Amino acid sequence: MTARPFIEVQGLAKRFGANRVLSGVDLDVDKGESLVLIGTSGSGKTLLLKCILGLIRPDAGVVVVDGTDTVPLRGARRIPFADRCGMLFQRSGLFDSMPVWRNVAFRMLEGGADPARAKSLAVDKLAQVGLDADVADLSPSELSGGMQKRVGIARAIFGDPEILLLDEPTAGLDPIMSNVINELILDLVREIGCTAISIDSDMAGARMLGDRIAMLHGGRIIWTGASDKVLESGDPYVDQFVHSRAEGPIQMPA
């Protein structure tokens, strides 16, 4: 018998007023798999990640993780699921009012952990992403964009999550630093053994990070396939997107 996917998104829908962003998303991710979401700006990729994590509640549909529908979970009932997840936000989402180590260990500190213990673990995570211990006491504003991304990744992997959600992990970085970050994420995913869902607009990065790629368009997943097949998908929407063509079925606003 075929095993159930670790993450099953079925019929996920979300609208804001008259704007229907997600219109019945169906998506499966196997345990230990790395899946990359692609799609045009405003297609709902970040919204989908937030619905999976539980930051936004969908209007309809289910998000089944390891056999449990997580959508109805609220308050204390959701904490065990949230503790299994780590997320890197698009702009790293760091708090400039606190030092780097407190950013990395934020969830642990919010739970009332001993600060000395939390700092020690944060320094260990910073080392995993190639940052020296002296970075721990700096403010995020004192770091370069690439270093801020590394801190964001350190926070996302704090606690060795089972599920890692990454929103444009290389956005705003130069090509060399983008490759460094992508290789770092790949190494960490293999080391932790987690299941990863990423958003990536750079096709070289998407093909590097993803075992599979899924395209979101018109509020639905219109194509999924192996990352090494995406450049020859045969789907006109996917082909236009991955080859950056102005002409095609995707109509961009003037």
Instruction: Inform me whether the pLDDT recorded for 2 exceeds 90.
Output: no
Would you say residue 240 lies in a domain? yes
* Beta-strand pair 19-29/195-199: unpaired
Q: Is residue 201 part of a domain?
A: yes
Phi/psi-derived region of residue 155, left when phi > 0, alpha when psi is between -120 and 50, beta in every other case: alpha
Q: Is residue 174 part of a domain?
A: no
For residue 100, tell me if it sits in a domain: no
> CA distances (Å), 47 to each of 14, 21, 89, in order?
9, 8, 12
β-bridge pairing 220-226 and 212-217? antiparallel
pLDDT at 49: 94
Residue 83 lies in a domain: no
CATH code where residue 19 lies: 3.40.50.300
Q: Structural domain tally of the chain?
A: 1
In a domain, 37, yes or no: yes
- Domain membership of residue 79 (yes or no) is no
pLDDT of residue 174: 86
Q: Does any domain span residue 202?
A: yes
Q: What is the pLDDT of residues 82-137, one digit of tens each?
A: 888 998 887 777 999 999 999 999 989 988 889 999 999 999 999 988 899 999 99
pLDDT, tens only, 64-88:
999 988 888 877 777 788 888 998 8
What residue numbers bound the domain in which 18 lies? Answer: 1-74+195-245
Cβ neighbour number for residue 229 with a 10 Å cutoff: 15
Least confident among 36-50, 70-84, 219-233: 70-84
pTM: 0.90
CA distance 115 to 134: 17
